[in-house]
Chains A and B, each alone.
Chain A
């Protein structure tokens, strides 16, 4: 592959797409600028803050530092793809229930990070949760209401809420 344009066949939030992108295009820019999915935020730009967290084949990645071309043949999930038929995902409901945000800038990344953890480890311990969220920074809440949201989401999912 030596072209200045790469064909990117991928699935974003359940929708199959074929895009032409430059090799250096970052996943975050394609999501935000080409697809209008502006939930994922650019902040630190160096994989520290987590505001750009999206799931690539279910794994959390920093969309600001992953080449769009890495999404070829893979599934991208962003905050916009979580709700189903107007019904919020249990993790989203939990953040509302505990007021797990104030300004909301970190929230999409935070929620995607929590979803990745709970999909993988539904019974993650509070210690696991803290360790997992070490890479997602929130400057408003002091984290207590976010940790409370994770606990609420864990209970809802355990009780059969559709994740």
Chain B
């Protein structure tokens, strides 16, 4: 059972921002409800007012940016839409591959990308895959609009940089460089993942070696994170070697800020992260060569 609340349906971002300011801590943004309603049912969160952002014009948009260099994903776009959109499958295949693996078909049908990012559940798939694309979030607030890198938006477990009078309107995901190939792999014994790994490899023009590598790991620590030292170490690596197995993959997990929880001990998570970094690199390398 849910505690009583009222639902508000703003039709513009400005109206939503005004409702945020009016209700303060008694109000919560609501989209698919796949995190919020569960927390409210469990008594972990209580709000007298839900602000339904799905009625805001444009928040369900999914378009190629006017300059053709990014895909703009509205905050209310569902995981299912990301999984199936021809635009996403063609231009951001790694994002489509990730979306296909979110929770289950029912969650994907109602859960939204914006809701996922704002709730900032650490055991979650989207942030990891978006980080290797260099995604940026767009926020609307009383003081105007601002944009910031996703890495700066993700502050900690259940904590984002969203201000008390702000809403997330969309996410800009830059298209990967030409020839790039990626992979998203996850592993877990429960409904939520224990580890998620996203890899994007940009091969040289001969498709023989790595010109640029981007690697992110999620679910293991407080927030999903890129691994800059691993990325540097991979520059110049031969794709054929990565496909056969990267000997340093195990070490990639060791530096992670891992947290022990229901999904495993910190040591276990670091070990699994290493295993899955290796597998994701092998898969991405195979895709980059073909």
Contacts and interface: CB of A to CB of B under 8 A. Distances in A.
Interface residues of A, number: 32
A4 B9 CA distance: 14
A140 to B, nearest CB: 20
B8 A135 contact: no
B4 A4 contact: yes
A139 to B, nearest CB: 16
Contact of B4 (A24, A45, A116, A117): A24
A69 B5 CA distance: 13
Contact of B37 (A6, A53, A67): A67
Given A24-B5, A66-B110, A135 B33 contact: no
Given A23-B7, A45-B41, A135 B103 contact: yes
Contacts of A118: none
Task: Give chain B's interface secondary structure class.
Answer: mixed
Contacts of A59: 80, 109
B2 A24 contact: yes
A44 B9 CA distance: 29
Contacts of A50: 104, 106
A60 B8 contact: no
Given A50-B106, A60-B105, A67-B37, A23 B50 contact: yes
Interface string B85-107: 00000000000000000011111
Interface string A54-75: 0010011110011101100000
Interface in B139-176: none
Contacts of B103: 47, 135
Contact of A47 (B6, B8, B38): B38
A59 B3 CA distance: 27
A30 interface: no
B67 interface: no
B106 A60 contact: yes
Given A66-B33, A67-B33, A53 B5 contact: no
Contacts of B9: 1
Interface string B25-52: 0000000011001100100000000100
Contacts of A117: 105
Contact of A53 (B4, B34, B38, B106): B106
A56 B105 CA distance: 13
17 contacts: A1-B8, A6-B7, A23-B4, A23-B6, A24-B3, A26-B1, A45-B41, A47-B106, A48-B104, A48-B191, A61-B110, A65-B41, A66-B33, A116-B105, A132-B105, A135-B103, A135-B106
Interface of A: 1-4, 6, 22-24, 26, 45-48, 50, 53, 56, 59-62, 65-67, 69-70, 113, 116-117, 132, 134-136
